[in-house]
Chain A
Amino acid sequence: MSIEINGVGKQFGDFVALDDVSLHIPTGQLTALLGPSGGGKSTLLRIIAGLEHADRGRVQIEGLDATHLPAQKRNVGFVFQHYAAFKHLTVYRNVAFGLEIRKVPKQQMRTRVNELLELVHLSQFADRLPSQLSGGQRQRMALARALAVEPNVLLLDEPFGALDAKVRKELRDWLRRLHDEVHVTTVFVTHDQEEALEVADEIVIINEGRIEQIGTPDQLYDEPANDFVMRFIGPVTELGGRLVRPHDLELVVTDPGDGHYGTVRRVVRVGYEVRVEIQAGAETVLVTASRSQFQDLGIAEGSPVWVRPQRGAMSVASSQKIPVAAG
């Protein structure tokens, strides 16, 4: 079910968490709200859920004005970073909670809960307490609990943020597959660009309470709207005052006429990739090349070299707003 956000603003004291945000989230998609910490993405998610109320603007869920609707009436599923498990209830009762509230008949409830436990691979843990589960299992339980009430939208706030890298990656792939199965409109908040690029159909980049860009992972990577988006998604370096991707640059050993001259300052090999730092005037330019490309050049630290963008390379004017935070 689609979500429509119109001119939403929210302030905490003097701090502007959201500044006139408008956004359309289409039905059935997996949308990521991506941005640096404190940028307002969690606040936006909590406003959609009704856990926070906007100072200005409107929120519509499924065509229905939900701006002043309490969380209880919105029929959204919410998954918290730290699970928010009901510690005194078994896994089964945790998942059944929303159904018990809705007074679903016992038999129907049992079928539904067992179905969900099956879906999140927790059937054999139905009688355990949350404290007897691992972090990943707890988060899957929280997800089943949120899905049990057949929510119009599923909202996840940094759902994998508290898990270690390996489990995070597994759950990420699993969430993607789950979404392909269940097809509920899903919005998740993350500060991890890789997570967003891998999982989401559409990404909304939020920074300092404003939306910087909305698009598919490919659009954001290939056509960033500004230098913030470019810096935030994927690696960047600077050449001639413009931001470019290090893998969109090439090195030439004879003057091509349109290149920037410099000397090789450092060469680092990471697996299949070679990272070359070039001192070109005042700029330090990073170029990445494959191992064989690099070997063909026959250069080493101190060698003179020319750098130029490859044909069709995309670049964005640098405004020096934010220090480089690539990767």
Chain B
Amino acid sequence: MATVALGTGPTARLRRSVRPGHLTTASGVGLGVAMIWFSLLVLIPLSAVVVTAAGGGWTGFWSSVTNEQTAAAIRLTVGMAAVVTLINVVMGTLIAWVLVRDEFFGKRALEVLIDIPFALPTIVAGLVLLSLYGSDSPFGIDVANTRSAVFLAFLFVTLPFIVRMVQPVLAEIDPEVEQAAASLGASRFTTFRRVILPSLAPAITAGAALSFARGVSEYGSLVLLSGNLPFRTEVTSVRILSSVENNNLAGAASVATILLVISVAVMIAVEVLQRRMSRRG
């Protein structure tokens, strides 16, 4: 995952300079076990999806992904995941900042509460959202069957990613580095932008990638509140499920393949971005 890039620049460069093809027995066995495990759990199922998608032939694949309803679902899912991730970049960093830098009453409680979206089964989250923002909302906020419902559900389940990635990195930053910047004439904003943010950037991008991937794959938390209206609030995971229910396995796999391609593309983009940031500084 993209998280390994946290240890930036020089170590990565060192690692690459080690000559490949020279493994000790122990590391050979380790590598073998890791590869088998990874293949069983990730590579083979993913290949199966691609193979199933290909089973319908190119035309079958093309017609399922260009199907207007499917295309609308993909647009909604990817677009919403992107918007939510951007919001998380700002809010997640802010929350991490408050948790690390400020002392306030209830800080420990907030620390624990941040993880609730992780810990809660997503369908429970869906129920909570439905009872709070559904037609019987105690606050009079009814977003049921609208895109806001999708937005809200994405925000809820992806909240902890960036907070949790940024928090430890921020806690590690030496306050003297900021004081050094201040004594060199940098304002607090400049110090944040030029000294702190570059240190946090790898963590933020890694968290953003996770947040985006989670958004794209979300199902449980939004299925109750969004109403799953075709062309309006139907997301790809719901679309895939309905394809499966209609016995259109190849169609479901085709949509899944598109999601897979998008996710891999995002991961690669994040990795490239991280490399560039750690080099440029």
Q: Does B190 contact A (CB under 8 A)?
A: yes
Contact of B186 among A51, A72, A74, A76 (CB under 8 A): A72
Question: In the bound complex, do residue A101 and residue B186 qualify as a contact, i.e. CB atoms below 8 Å apart?
Answer: yes
Min distance, Cβ A14 to any Cβ of chain B, angstroms? 19
Contacts of A149 in B (CB 8 A): 184-185
Number of A-B contacts (CB under 8 A): 74
The answer to whether the Cβ of B199 comes within 8 Å of any Cβ in the partner chain is yes
Q: How far is the CB of B198 from chain A (nearest CB, A)?
A: 5
Kindly supply a per-residue 1/0 record for chain A positions 110-146, scoring 1 wherever the CB is within 8 Å of any chain B CB and 0 otherwise: 0000000000000000000101100000000010011
Let me know if A80 is at the binding interface, CB within 8 A: yes
Interface string of A138-164 (1 = CB under 8 A from B): 000010011011000000000000000
Q: Identify which of residues 42-90 in chain A touch chain B, using a CB-to-CB cut-off of 8 Å.
A: 49-51, 70-78, 80, 82, 84-90
B199 touches A88 (CB 8 A): yes
* Contacting pair A85 B183 (CB below 8 A): no
Q: Which residue of chain B has the shortest Cβ distance to A76 in the bound complex?
A: B183
Pick the interface stretch among B171-179, B217-225, B227-235, B258-266: B171-179
Is A88 a contact of B281 with CB atoms below 8 Å? yes
State whether the Cβ of B182 lies closer than 8 Å to any Cβ in chain A: yes
- CB atoms of A71 and B176 under 8 A apart: no
Please tell me if the beta carbons of B180 and A93 are within 8 angstroms of each other in the complex: no
Chain B interface SS verdict (over half): helix
Bitwise, A182-219 to B at CB < 8 A (1) or not (0) is: 00000000000000000000000000000000000000
Measured CB to CB, the closest approach of chain A to B170, in angstroms, equals 14
Taking the closest CB of chain A, its distance from the CB of B181, in whole angstroms, is 7
A-chain residues with CB within 8 Å of residue B5 when the two chains form the complex: none
Looking at the assembled complex, report how far the CB atom of B183 sits from the nearest CB atom of chain A, in whole angstroms. 4
Closest CB in chain A relative to B168 CB, distance in Å: 16
- Quote the shortest CB–CB distance from B180 to chain A (angstroms): 4
Asked if A98 is an interface residue, CB under 8 A from chain B, the answer is: yes
Partner of A82, one of B10, B174, B182, B186: B174
Q: Does A261 contact B (CB under 8 A)?
A: no
How far does the Cβ of A22 sit from chain B's closest Cβ, in whole Å? 24
| Residues of chain B in range 94-118 having any CB-CB distance to chain A below 8 Å | none
B176 pairs with A97, CB closer than 8 A: no
Is A102 on the interface with B (CB-CB < 8 A)?
yes
Known: A87-B199, A88-B199. A49 touches B183 (CB 8 A): yes
Cβ A84 vs Cβ B174 within 8 A: yes
A90 touches B281 (CB 8 A): yes
* Cross-interface CB contact of A84 among B177, B194, B278, B281, cutoff 8 Å: B177
- Chain A residues within 8 Å of chain B by Cβ, number: 34
Q: Mark A88-110, 1 if CB is under 8 A from B, else 0.
A: 11100100011001100000000
**Chain A proximity of B269: nearest CB distance (Å):** 21
Contact A88 B183, beta carbon cutoff 8 Å:
no
A80 and B176 within 8 A (CB): yes
**B195 an interface residue at 8 Å Cβ cutoff?**
yes
Contact at B278–A102, with CB atoms within 8 Å?
no
B179 engages A78 (CB within 8 Å): yes
In the complex, A50→B182 CA distance in Å?
Answer: 9
In whole angstroms, what is the CA distance A142 to B8 when docked? 22
Is B180 a contact partner of A80 (Cβ separation < 8 A)? yes
Interface flags, A206-237, vs B, CB<8A=1, else 0: 00000000000000000000000000000000
Q: Are B281 and A78 in contact (CB under 8 A)?
A: no
In the bound complex, what is the Cα–Cα distance between A76 and B180 (angstroms)?
A: 10
A254 CB, nearest partner CB in chain B, Å: 62
Question: Which chain A residues lie closer than 8 Å to B182 at the CB level?
Answer: 50-51, 70-72
Residue numbers in A under 8 Å from B55 (CB-CB): none
Give per-residue flags for B1-26: 1 if the beta carbon is below 8 A from chain A beta carbons, else 0. 00000001110000000000000000
With a CB–CB cut-off of 8 A, which chain B residues contact A90? 281
Cβ A84 vs Cβ B190 within 8 A: no
Give min CB distance, A200 to chain B, whole Å. 22
Distance to closest chain A CB from B80 (angstroms): 32
Which 6 interchain pairs have the tightest Cβ spacing? A98-B184, A88-B281, A84-B180, A84-B176, A78-B183, A71-B182
Interface residues of B (CB under 8 A from A): 8-10, 174, 176-177, 179-187, 190, 194-195, 198-199, 278, 281
22 A-B residue pairs with CB within 8 Å: A50-B183, A70-B182, A71-B182, A72-B182, A72-B183, A72-B186, A76-B183, A77-B183, A80-B176, A80-B180, A82-B174, A84-B174, A84-B176, A85-B177, A88-B199, A89-B281, A97-B181, A101-B186, A101-B190, A102-B185, A129-B10, A145-B180
Since A49-B183, A50-B183, A77-B183 are in contact, a sample of 8 more A-B pairs with Cβ atoms closer than 8 Å, ordered by chain A residue number, is: A82-B174, A84-B179, A85-B177, A88-B8, A97-B184, A131-B10, A145-B180, A149-B185
